Structure 1
């Protein structure tokens, strides 16, 4: 889930993507757009969360996630190539299934975005608390203060509509990538059992793997960016397919090494990194995650505007206030064990709703051409309900 779009909820980014000159050839341009849509804050959060749930099998789950995400992107590409103009996923769904379906997708993304920001804020808080706790200075009030502080700063920046220079947005993604690899190499923050990154109990390894696979969609929101990108490229089917495949390969080339690196570092006997590194990584995480909360809260406000249909400039503050209240409400659950996982389930479910409805729209629009892909994809996405049921029963 990355940033300003829908092309949002997300871990993706339209309005605030690269902002610069893209490659002229359609395939690299499409690949860059897919990668920028998917890559984002999920690179920071998900290695620790997935490792805490699935342990050594985490890289396999990342591989399954990329394969499923690429299938989603391919299916939505087929939908976008039926003559639709460049538009967000919700609008593409609405153009086929009706206005009510569009609002359902937008509403799901609004809730998912709000919970996602609470998860990001508590992830940053977990890092700060863990860094301080190693020196014996942890306090019960520190986590909530950091989490609500991150959300508060992000909300105020969105409310003030602070400009985001394109050069700064172009720089953020490589900075996040470098920080993600640094955190993975140090296995920081550690996914200790019973912490905010790991539920106190999970009913079995299969359920934990299923939950991890679903939660990974926080990192995978952005595959839907093709509904905006593909019509803009106006490329033929072969070039379009090559661009989507290249973008998925780039995502795999980043996420799979991150998963492996975190697992390898977590298995080392040295324990937590030295104090100076803990504080440096936590400070960097705090700054970067605050920037994502800012752009994502602003993006969520735009989704609320689509849900309400309001074009009144004065309504913008009210729309952001709705998002801010939702973020604060979700953040109140942050002190519970495994709270980050619980909160990440909501944006992951929002992505699942959007992708399932996108698959149905593609099936309706294209018919038998997509049957071989649409129905298996719908079944695979809907199957993630089972691990949630097991977790709730546990």
Structure 2
């Protein structure tokens, strides 16, 4: 489960959440881990009802029907595509900030970097470049080390009005609500238990201990990252020296491009589930759909707070999946899950109000 949750969110979310919530960011990270652990526990109970190993959408569909499965898959397709645009613009913001002189850089640089990242990721996915499991396992600790290096330097900075922070948010409560929802981009992966738990065939005690251990591992990484970024952002030294900015930005660019590649490929597989098409040319058409969605979302990247806006879509997609998973668990198990399912649905749905405030003021 830890490998499912930990990923590119380690790089992106410390800056984004700090930009929205400031010193309160670690508290929101803690709330997210608690809510994510509850999601994982509930979906574990669902998976232990005799379901075979399957993605969340298929687990929902096995209980609520094919239409529900397609709804979750469609939400994840849109969310994945917007998430890659957000990652690309995060990398672009880092590069722009690194090379800017007196706070200014060429207007074309950000779009060129962002669309370049997406373009390379799309081409690699289209070519289906092999990714050995050992290489993917190695990527995780590399990303973790890079995330802590960026957090220690508060890089990139979450300046108000930049791509990482909206120009204004109507109140601290709305900002906290938006930050808590956006954190579900970092938490995409809690649902991996629907595939992992049936494979282990362990008893209930061992399974629940595994969920608790996974949630503890997530907390042990994300909470120090949040604290470290906040502490570094409060130092009076200002931005890191030039050599460090260039080094961190180059590393971010490479790692984020690799995530765009693997995530675009994964989104293509989700489109395949939605369409059910398996003819020889289907894979390229499915990837083309994802590529066009990524490009469309990336056109919004130059707006203030664009990364936050784009991250809201995968976060909302995860919320849709988790709410439907909670409903499926309640339907499948009944009163056993009432104490967990409905409070969880209410907690997930509560983020609608801060979104309304952000959109309508």
TM-score (norm 2): 0.99
Structure-1 residue corresponding to 2:262: 295
Deviations 1:219-261 (A, max 9, x none): 0000000000000000111000000000000000000000000
Q: Moved runs in structure 1, 4+ residues, more than 3 A?
A: 134-137
**Cα distance in 1 between the residues matched to 2:133 and 2:194:** 22
Q: Partner of 1:164: helix, strand, or coil?
A: coil
1:125 match:
92
Q: Check the 8 A contact 2:9/2:186 in 1, yes or no.
A: yes
**SS of equivalent to 1:337:** coil
Residue of structure 1 equivalent to 2:337: 370
Structure 1 distance, partners of 2:23, 2:317, is: 27
Q: Following the alignment from structure 1 to structure 2, what is the Cα–Cα distance between the partners of residues 198 and 169?
A: 30
Long gaps (5+) in structure 2 = none
Counterparts of residues 151-230 of structure 1 (less than 5 Å): 151-230=118-197
1:352 matched to 2:336? The reply is no
Describe the shift of the 1:113–1:291 C-alpha distance in structure 2 as closer, same or farther (beyond 3 A).
same
Q: Report the Cα distance in structure 2 between the residues aligned to 1:136 and 1:71, rounded to whole angstroms.
A: 43
1:164-215 CA distance string (max 9 Å, x none): 1222111100000000000000000000010000001100000000000000
> For the residues of structure 1 that align with 2:248 and 2:70, how far apart are their CA atoms?
39
Match among 199, 205, 211 for residue 238 of structure 1:
205
Deviations, residues 314-351 of structure 1 (Å, cap 9, x unaligned)? 20000000000000000000000000000000000000
| SS of equivalent residue, structure 2 residue 281 | helix
| C-alpha distance in 2 between matches for 1:338 and 1:92 | 35
TM-score (norm 1): 0.91
1:312: how far off? 1.6
Q: Quote how far apart the aligned CAs of 1:134 are.
A: 4.2
How far the C-alpha of 1:135 sits from its partner, in A, is 5.8
Q: Deviations over 1:241-299 (max 9, x none)?
A: 00000000000000000000000000000000000000000000000000000000000
- 1:313 Cα shift? 2.8
CA distance, structure 2, for counterparts of residue 168 and residue 377 of structure 1: 36
- Structure 1: runs of 5 or more not aligned: 1-33
Task: For 1:143 and 1:334, locate their aligned partners in 2 and report how far apart those are by CA, in whole Å.
Answer: 9
Q: 264, 282, 294: which one pairs with 1:315?
A: 282
The 3-state SS of whatever aligns with 2:317 is helix
CA–CA distance in structure 1, aligned partners of residues 230 and 103 of structure 2: 26
**Alpha-carbon shift at residue 137 of structure 1 (Å):** 6.2
Distance 1:170 1:258 in 2: 20
Residue 111 (str. 1) matches residue 102 (str. 2): no
Separation (CA, whole Å) in 2 of partners of 1:339 and 1:192: 13
Query: Alpha-carbon deviation of 1:136?
Result: 5.9
In terms of mean alpha carbon deviation, does 245-254 or 312-321 score higher?
Answer: 312-321
Kindly state the Cα deviation for residue 138 of structure 1 after the two structures are TM-superposed.
1.1
Q: Return closer, same or farther for 1:136/1:378 CA change in 2, 3 Å cut-off.
A: closer
Q: Is the 8 A contact 2:163 2:302 kept in 1?
A: yes
Report the Cα distance in structure 2 between the residues aligned to 1:82 and 1:240, rounded to whole angstroms: 13
- The answer as to whether partners of 2:174 and 2:357 remain within 8 angstroms in 1 is yes
Q: Deviations over 1:12-32 (max 9, x none)?
A: xxxxxxxxxxxxxxxxxxxxx
Conserved 8 A contact 2:97-2:103: no
Q: C-alpha displacement at 1:133, in angstroms?
A: 1.1
Partner of 2:310: 343
Aligned pairs, number: 361
Farther off after superposition, 163-172 or 261-270: 163-172
Instruction: Report the Cα distance in structure 2 between the residues aligned to 1:65 and 1:391, rounded to whole angstroms.
Output: 20
CA distance, structure 1, for counterparts of residue 27 and residue 129 of structure 2: 40
User: Which of these residues, 377, 380, 384, is aligned with residue 351 of structure 2?
Assistant: 384
SS in 2 for 1:367: helix
